[in-house]
Chains A and B, each alone.
Chain A
Amino acid sequence: MAAPLTLLLLVAVTVRAALFRSSLSELISERVEVVSPLTAWKRVIEGLALLDLGVSPYSGDVFHETPLTIYLFHFLVDYAEVTFMVSVAGSSVVVTYLILFQFRKQKFALEADRYPLDCLELIRSPKEMYYIPLKVAMFYLLNPFTILSCVAKSTCGLNNAIIALFILSTIKGNVLLSAIFLSLATYQSIYPLTLCAPALLYLMQRQYIPVNFRRASFWWFIVQYAFMYLGSLFVIICLSFFLLGSWDYLPSVYGFILSVPDLTPNIGLFWYFFAEMFEHFRLFFLCVFQINVFFYTIPLSIKLKEHPVFLIFMQLAVISIFKSYPTVGDISLYMAFLPVWSHLHRFLRNIFLVSCVLLACSALFPVLWHLWIYAGSANSNFYYAITLLFNVAQILLVSDYFYAFLRREHHLTYGLYLKRKDGSEATLVLK
């Protein structure tokens, strides 16, 4: 496993290094699909310059990254390329290991033979599983979205690395580290807050604590986790305050994420909607759009409480679709998980359609941008249409995986070849 992984890392680093040196990197770092106002490297540089001049980096309306990031780059600015490569490579390795780890567990499930006999073909053989971590690393490292985001030096790569570390520490069962990394991820971009549900579910599963609202042990564990989470969040926020000496960053980072003042076009759903809207509806729809990101946590956690890892995947996808400033870097993180669910492929229904649409949309983004901004012959409606289609395809992809997952669970309990009472072949109807 180590040798192919090293080879993969080498290839990935070479591609990125070549792109960093080419003239394309400047072009890529300007693309709205790749960088958002939150993650743009240009803005980080601006913030650093302000910091060096002794001005608060948040005094203008340019810089919106967190204070810890800017202090990190204060020391690392000359090694920025290396930092981004390390973060990408690191997160891929981390994800690989966590997948490896996850599968050790699944092997036990295989031996547990609690499933009907004809479901054996639904359960992956160890040989299949052997390659999956490598495939995951490949999906993350060689995904064009990750490459673009890394070459643009989008700080999204760092956020992804933190989330990967959070997932790893959760799956390793380390409660403290999990809480710390979750608070870091939340500190970076609020939305990972929703990942606390799968983390809690997983950790409780590991410690054999039943998910039951009437048990004291359940509540005790939640209080413990919340204490660690809030404590570390408090420490980080105070640390930022002491580093900067002011609370400027709170409205400038979190206010910026939540109230969406920057309507630069991106691949998300917010910009067009809020650019078109009458001003007095703004607050209402802002709440609707933001609640949308958080709301799915509740039904998904109820439905998937036995499968926290799949829940993590679903949550990551939901965040990257509905967050206020999404970039392709966010998408690449949940796409890295797709090979993990390769056993669901036989139940996927629209994968061909969805992948065609995603492919076509990715190609059409720059084309329509060109027609709108440079040629002036198309307009924002064209670009937004593609954004909309892209997001619909993502939603279809995620719901397809969700459906396939549920269907597999159903078959695992009731047998693969369902029969009606009269003996004919039955079909499952989703209602």
Chain B
Amino acid sequence: MGLLSDPNRRRALISLLTRLNTPICIVCYMAGVAWFMGLAFEPFTLRTYMSENAMGSTMVEERFPAGERALATGREFSAHKKRTGGMPVEWLMKTMQAKGLEVFTQRFSRTLPFPDENKERYMVRGTNVYGILRAPRAPRTEALVLSAPCSPGDNNNQAVGLLLGLAEYFRNQIYWAKDIIFLVNEHDLIGMQAWLEGYHHTNTTGMDWSPLQGRGGSIQAALSLELSSDIITSLDLVLEGLNGQLPNLDLANLFYAFCQKIGVLCTIQGKLQRNDWDSVSGYSHAVQTMMLMVMKQASGRPWGDHGLFLRYHIEAATIKGVNSFRQYKTDATTIGRLLEGMYRKLNNLLERLHQSYFFYLMPSLSHFVSIGYYMPAFGLLAVILLLRALDLWVQLSTPPQRTEDGSSPGVLSLLTPLVISHLTGVALYMLPIRFQEMAVEHFPVSETEAVVLTAIAVYTLLSPGTEQGWRVLKLVAVLYLAVLLGCTALINFSLGFILALTLVPVAAFVTPHVPKVLSAFILVILSPACTLLFSVFFFQELQEMPISFQDGWLLFLSVISQGILDHSLYGSLVYPLITLLVYPCWLLFWNILFWN
């Protein structure tokens, strides 16, 4: 408290902070970026370890024998799928019943707000089929889910085959203490959404689905399986769910532990783990893996069918079989054994997975960065905003001449840009879908944005303002941005950090007295839309699939439309966040630049 109450030391501290404001800000920015890049350096990360006692010490033995038969079932499934031209509901029901499960179906239909060009669907209707294996050992109060999507074409047949094979094998074991639900969902996430909403009696997105006839207990964990070939070389773990939510780290640990035990190659973000962390290429490999995770998390979309489970407090992950040109091959029996082992350990759970971390980044499957380590990177960026706000506050509270009557027109001149920029945000949020209903041509986001930008430019060039006025506006905008980014980073660290990387410099340097044209250019380059464009290229680069500018632009547009679809289908929050809050905030800085 000495610092807060001693006037001399306070004065010294404040004068230090205001005098050295710019250098401190630059140092903070550098330090924030450096800290973030350092997170992937192996000595700075923690090794993963199993925190959950129920899964750690218990021994299980995997005995699943029937890989070949599962693949045969998969081939049969694919034949029936081809014949019916969609989900072979009858056949699936009959097969599941033959394996001794309680089988139920659920119908659902959904009309998208506009046609989805990536997956070529507009009016979606389909059926989910699921079978419940009732727990013989315990009251049926808890359940586990194993799901496999029924995808169009020749994809995922093996996954459904393996699911049915596991169902048959699990049925004959006596140690299950939790219901196991085997779910085959149609139309990937839309079907999953319908099933989860039906299971939990909620309806958040206005989808039509028939109520579920059969239920198990409360779902403790779920795995989604994607497998498209008879033999695979490695298994990839996908964790990122809706709004950047991640499952408990113990689920990833469990997967990694069994891969090690059974001897399957496992990857995360499609990247194998390397041991040469002290070499440059090893470090850059880890950075790439982590950056891929950050990008995927920041997008806020579910990257596998498991993504929607997380919203209901269910720890879930997707396991993807990858068949590349590696020497090392794994057959379906081994994958079946791996899944059997994982389910047996999950079966031993006494309470929900909660021991381990929920906030983490993974530079490799065996190492992770927890919230305590990565938050300082964001904190260093956020401190810049607070320092600028402090600087402005000091400037405002010690003006050359004090005029009290300046405050009441100040409120109005402050409210106008705030209200107008938020209205444009609302327009940007509403217009794309409204326009799409009127004109069926290509997606008009860029046009809308152009119109809005011009309107703002015209408006701000005409508006008069005082020297005091822009300082107040900037103070408000900087604090607004700080709170906004702080909240975003808590919910979705990656999104918050990426936005902070681009918006914080804007917020720090913009004043009406910097060169207009150059600053306007920088401002546009660092706008949320351009950030997204860069991210698209960067993401492609990280995945080692660089694309031309033309394709990148098309991808950019499709990413925006996917974002809007994710919002209206699954309730992803990234699109409303950007349009309703981040974009207006950026407009405020634009407004300050053109303050007269």
Contact = CB atoms under 8 A, between A and B. Distances in A.
A131 B411 CA distance: 15
A370 B491 contact: yes
B4 interface: yes
Contact of A377 (B245, B483, B486): B245
Interface in B462-494: 479, 482-483, 486-487, 490-491
A200 to B, nearest CB: 32
Interface string B1-43: 0001101101000000000000000000000000000000000
Contact of A359 (B10, B483, B490): B483
Contacts of A8: none
Q: Which of B10, B246, B386, B487 has the most CB of A within 10 A?
A: B487
A302 interface: no
B5 A430 contact: yes
A245 to B, nearest CB: 41
Contacts of B4: 349-350
A368 B404 contact: no
Given A360-B483, A377-B245, A377-B358, A368 B5 contact: no
Contacts of A356: 386, 389, 479
Interface string B302-326: 0000000011010000000000000
A352 B491 contact: no
Nearest to B487: A367
Q: Which of A356, A374, A376, A427 has the most CB of B within 10 A?
A: A376
A367 B479 contact: no
B5 to A, nearest CB: 6
Given A377-B358, A377-B359, A352 B393 contact: yes
A4 to B, nearest CB: 11
B358 A376 contact: yes
Q: Which of A131, A364, A370, A377 has the most CB of B within 10 A?
A: A377
B298 to A, nearest CB: 16
B51 to A, nearest CB: 14
A375 interface: yes
B390 interface: yes
B490 A368 contact: yes
Q: Which of A356, A375, A428 has the most CB of B within 10 A?
A: A375
Interface in A323-352: 349-350, 352
* Interface residues of chain B: helix, strand, loop or mixed (majority): helix
A111 interface: no
Contacts of A430: 5
Contacts of B486: 360, 363-364
A356 B387 CA distance: 12
Given A367-B490, A367-B491, A349 B10 contact: yes
Interface in A367-410: 367-368, 370-371, 374-378
A128 interface: yes
Interface string B97-135: 000000000000000000000000000000000000000
A349 to B, nearest CB: 7
Nearest to A379: B354
Contacts of A368: 490
Contacts of B404: 128
Nearest to B480: A359
Contact of B246 (A131, A352, A370, A377): A377
B487 A363 contact: yes
Contacts of A352: 389-390, 393
Q: Which of B8, B10, B408, B483 has the most CB of A within 10 A?
A: B483
Contacts of B7: 427-428
B479 A349 contact: no
Contacts of A360: 482-483, 486
A427 B8 contact: yes
A368 B486 CA distance: 11
Contacts of B311: 374-375
A375 B5 contact: no
A128 B482 CA distance: 33
Nearest to B488: A367
Q: Which of B10, B359, B491 has the most CB of A within 10 A?
A: B491
B564 to A, nearest CB: 21
A371 B491 contact: yes
A178 B311 CA distance: 53
Given A367-B487, A370-B491, A376 B313 contact: yes
Nearest to B245: A375
Contacts of B490: 364, 367-368, 371, 378
A428 B5 CA distance: 10
A354 to B, nearest CB: 10
Interface in B355-388: 358-359, 386
6 contacts: A349-B10, A350-B4, A352-B389, A360-B482, A377-B358, A430-B5
Interface of A: 128, 131, 349-350, 352, 356, 359-360, 363-364, 367-368, 370-371, 374-378, 427-428, 430
Nearest 3 pairs of A and B residues by beta carbon: A377-B358, A376-B313, A367-B487
